Structure 1
Amino acid sequence: MRTTVKVLGTGLLLLTVTACAANSGAGAPAASGPGSSEPPTASASASAPATLTPTLGPPPSRTVGRPTQGIAPGDDVIAESQVDARGLPEGYPRSLVRSLDGRTLTLQAEEGGCRRISAHVGDQTAQQVVVLVAVTSAPKGQMCPDYIREIKVPLVLSAPLGSRTVVLRQG
């Protein structure tokens, strides 16, 4: 009984090693030239080491240098002193980022389930820019999926923001 177990174990081990060697190409002879069916000579195999093809990952993203979350390089968070959010109800987004040229503001918010957030630029004067923010929810009793995602709502201005105040209002 012991001998049978040892023989089966040894056979299984040899089968596993052989299968692994066949998959890695370690036991396969290399041809001496492209399309050649001749076995390699000792000098050919000694002078030409086996080359491994590197495994390449996915191609680089087209948004290299731009993070998928947070503030993009070159963008600037607008100071709280420059944002007037007194007209917004509790729970509305208030985080704004200014682009490098100052002509685009980005409202950063979280939405999910049945809650949707939208915003658009209202009146623009020499002293202030009004941004109207709307938050919609599902009717009471409606089931909504349970997820949250970060969104960015771009708001294009007619002129760079400069030192103007951004007034956030419900709308």
Structure 2
Amino acid sequence: MRWIRGIIAAAALLTVTACGEQAATTESGAGEAEKAPPASKELSRAPEEVPRDGPVPMGQIDASALPDGYPVDVAVSDEGRTLTVVAQEGGCTKVSATVAEQNDERIEVKLVESKPADKNVMCTMDMRYPPLTVELDEPLERRVVVLDYERATH
């Protein structure tokens, strides 16, 4: 059994060493032509390149109303007519999503985290990140997704 652990440790060390050597070669200037351009968080797109399926670009999401540390992960599918928002809930709380407003410039998605009114309920200490879907009247296109947050008791 010990020899298996030794082989796994050696393989991990070789992998880390190989990755370190490759990075050092790229940083030292050797192979400068092979160096990839730095990845940017936001890629600019021409109007005809607006994604109809896949992740919504961060520049198209307004998450300023979300609590600190809340996930900001929104995707579009069904030819731009369905939004999937990753929400956060934990313990006894349950989260839901609804479209509060849709117009030509923005779509407001309200995330409501509900907790039981009874304070004597025992709750676990886990965090869950359920994907919630909402349907849009028209495809997302260039509209901004505004994420709103509210806490409620039930």
Which interval holds the TM-score relative to the shorter structure?
0.5 to 0.7
SS in 2 for 1:98: strand
Paired AA for residue 117 in structure 1: V
> SS state of the match for residue 101, structure 2?
strand
Matched, 1:120 2:129: no
Kept in 1: contact 2:87–2:111 (CA 8 A): no
Deviations 1:83-137 (A, max 9, x none): 0011223354432111140100011134332121111001111111111111123
Task: Provide the residue aligned with 1:159 in structure 2.
Answer: 138
Give structure 1 stretches of 5+ with no counterpart. Answer: 1-73
Structure 1 residue aligned with 2:122: 143
Pick which of 102-111 and 135-144 moved more.
Answer: 135-144
Q: d(CA) in 2 for partners of 1:76 and 1:95?
A: 11
Mapped pair 1:96 → 2:74: yes
Contact 1:75 1:97 in 2 (8 A): yes
Aligned counterparts of 1:85 and 1:168: Cα–Cα separation in 2? 5
- TM-superposed CA distance for 1:167, in Å, is 0.8
Q: Is the 8 A contact 2:89 2:113 kept in 1?
A: no
Percent identity over the alignment is: 37
* Counterpart position of 1:7: none
* Residues 1:161 and 1:153: Cα distance change in structure 2 (over 3 Å): same
- In 2, the alpha carbon distance for the partners of 1:162 and 1:122 equals 18
TM-score of the aligned structures, taking structure 2 as reference length: 0.55
**Distance in 2 of aligned mates of 1:109 and 1:149:** 8
Q: How far apart, in 2, do the equivalents of 1:140 and 1:77 lie?
A: 38
Paired with 1:145 and 1:86, the residues of 2 have a C-alpha distance of 28
Displacement of 1:151 in angstroms is 1.5
Aligned match for 1:76, one of 33, 54, 57: 54
Say whether the 8 Å CA contact 2:97–2:110 is kept in structure 1: yes
User: Do the aligned partners of 1:93 and 1:107 also contact (CA within 8 Å) in 2?
Assistant: no
CA contact (8 A) 1:76 1:100 kept: no
| Counterpart-to-counterpart distance in 2, 1:116 and 1:90 | 18
Q: How do 1:59-74 and structure 2 match up within 5 A?
A: none
Q: Does 1:86 align with 2:64?
A: yes
Q: Structure 1 residues 92 and 119 mapped into 2: Cα distance closer, same or farther (>3 Å)?
A: farther
Q: Which has the larger radius of gyration?
A: 1
Which residue identity lines up with residue 120 of structure 1 in the other structure? T
Higher RCO (CA < 8 A, seq sep 6+)? 2
5+ residue gaps, structure 2: 1-51
